[in-house]
Amino acid sequence: MVEFKSNIKSIEWTQKEEMNGVSKMIDQTLIPYEYKYVEIKTGQEMFDAIKTMIVRGAPAIGIAGAHGVCLYAQEFAKTIQNLDEFKTKLKERAEYLISCRPTAVNLRWAVEKQIELINSSNSNIKELIKELIKQAIKLEDEDIKINKRMGDYGAEVVPKGATILTHCNAGALATVGYGTALGVIRSAFAKDPTIQVFADETRPRQQGARLTTFELVMDKIPVTLITDGMCSYFMKKGMIDMVVVGADRIATNGDTANKIGTYTVAISAKYHNVPFYIAAPLSTIDTSIKTGDEIKIEERSHEEVTHINGKAICTEGVKVINPAFDVTPHELIAGIITEYGILRPDYNKSIAEAFEKANK
Ligand code: MRU
C-alpha cells in the first residue's frame, strides 16, 4: 500500500477553552506560494472566508458553514441570555451563511443540519453550543470516511495504467481530507502506481493549476498540467482513458453542476468515447430539484476574468461575464461515484435507491 504523505486536513474545529473555539483552515488563496493555516474566530469572518474562497470546494464549505453557526453561537452567548431570542438570532445568521455561495448545496445541507439541531434541542444555551460543536466535528470526521469509501468504489472502474483527466480541485483541499475525485485517484494509485493524472488549469481561478497539482505532487502521484482548451486534443490522441470530477449540486435526474468548463470536458469525453464520472457524496444530491435547470449558478467578480494575480490581462473596459459553474446533462455521465456505490443511469432510480440504502 502506498502511504500518502500529504494527509491534508483542510478545515478543523479547534477548541481553545470552553466557549472559545475557532475554525482552523488552510488559506487556499495562498497556495502554491504559501501553505498556512488561518484561524476564523467569528461568524462574519467565516462568511468572508467562504465568499473570498479562503475555503472552497462543496464539502469543505459545508463544514465551514457548520463551524460558522458555532462561531455565531459563541458570540451571541456573550450578550443574549434568553434561549428563544438566542435561537431566533442564530437561525437568522445561519440563513445568512447559506446565502454566501449559492450553487454548492453542501453548504445549505450542513447549515440546515445545525438549524434542525437548534430547533429540536431542549438544552440551555451553553449545552446547545456544545451540541452544535459536537455535530460539526462529527460531520468533519464523517467527510473523510465517506471520501475513502467513495475512493474504494471509484478505484474499481479505473483501468490499469489509466491516464485520468480531472477538472478544478475536488481533492483533500475541497473536502475535509482525501477528496472526492482525487479520493478516487488516491485509492486507484494505491492499488496501481502506474496510473497518472492530467489536470485542467481551470480558469478563471486556476484551482487545477494551483491546488490539484499541489496535492498530487505532494502525494507523488504523476500529474501533467494542461490548459482548459487542450482536453479534446489529448482525447483525440487516445491519451485520456477516463474523466473524474467532483460536483457542487446534483439534481435527482443526475444533471450535475460543477466548476465552469466541466460541461465542455463532458461533451468532448462523450464524442471521444471516454467514460466521464462524477465523484460526490449523497450530501451533494439535492433531492428537492428534478433537473439541472433549477440550479442557481453563482456569478463571480469580473476581476477574476480580467486579472491574474492582480495584473490585468486584457484591455480596460472590456465586457465580461463570469458564471462560476455549469451543468453537465445526465446523458453525458457514465456514473456517479458515491459512498453507497457507483450510481448508473437511470439516475432517478439509482439516486432514489441510494437514499433508501442510506436511510436504512
Ligand atoms: O468554486 P470552487 O473552487 O468552490 O468550486 C469547486 C468545484 O467546482 C469542485 O469541483 C466541487 O466543489 C467538488 S469538490 C469535492
> Alpha-carbon distance 180 to 11, whole Å?
15
- From ligand 1's centre to the CA of 171, what distance in Å? 9
pLDDT digits (tens, 9 = 90+) for 39-89: 999 999 999 999 999 999 999 999 999 999 999 999 999 999 999 999 999
pLDDT at 252 exceeding the cut of 80? yes
What's the distance, CA 315 to chain centroid? 33
Residue 175 confidence (pLDDT): 98
> Alpha-carbon distance 258 to 241, whole Å?
21
Residue with cell 480596460: 316
> Helices (DSSP H) in the chain: which residue ranges?
43-51, 58-77, 83-98, 105-120, 125-155, 181-191, 207, 213-218, 231-236, 262-271, 303-306, 347-359
pLDDT at 7 exceeding the cut of 90? no
Is the CB of 249 inside a 6 Å radius of any atom of ligand 1? no
Residue 64 confidence (pLDDT): 98
**Binning pLDDT at 50, 70 and 90, where does residue 2 land?**
very low
CA angle 80, 86, 92 (to 5 degrees): 125
Residue among 178, 186, 258, 305 whose CB has most ligand 1 atoms within 8 A, to mutate: 258
Is the CB of 281 inside a 6 Å radius of any atom of ligand 1? no
DSSP string, 284-328: GB-TT-SSGGGPPPPB--THHHHEETTEE-S-TT-----BSEEEE
Looking at ligand 1, which atom is closest to the CA of residue 207? Answer: 3
- Mean pLDDT score, 184-213: 98
Looking at ligand 1, which atom is closest to the CA of residue 259? Answer: 8
Residue 6 confidence (pLDDT): 66
Is the CB of 28 inside a 6 Å radius of any atom of ligand 1? no
pLDDT digits (tens, 9 = 90+) for 287-326: 999 999 999 999 999 999 999 989 999 999 999 999 999 9
Looking at ligand 1, which atom is closest to the CA of residue 61? Answer: 4
The pTM of the full predicted model, rounded to 2 decimals, is: 0.96
Cα 156 to Cα 100, 153, 177, 252: the distances in Å are 37, 6, 21, 24
pLDDT digits (tens, 9 = 90+) for 112-141: 999 999 999 999 999 999 999 999 999 999
Is the CB of 10 inside a 6 Å radius of any atom of ligand 1? no
Sheet holding 249-250, edge to edge: 249-250, 256-259, 325-328
β-pair type (242-245, 276-279)? parallel
> Alpha-carbon distance 136 to 106, whole Å?
13
- From ligand 1's centre to the CA of 315, what distance in Å? 29
pLDDT digits (tens, 9 = 90+) for 206-239: 999 999 999 999 999 999 999 999 999 999 999 9
**Binning pLDDT at 50, 70 and 90, where does residue 1 land?**
very low
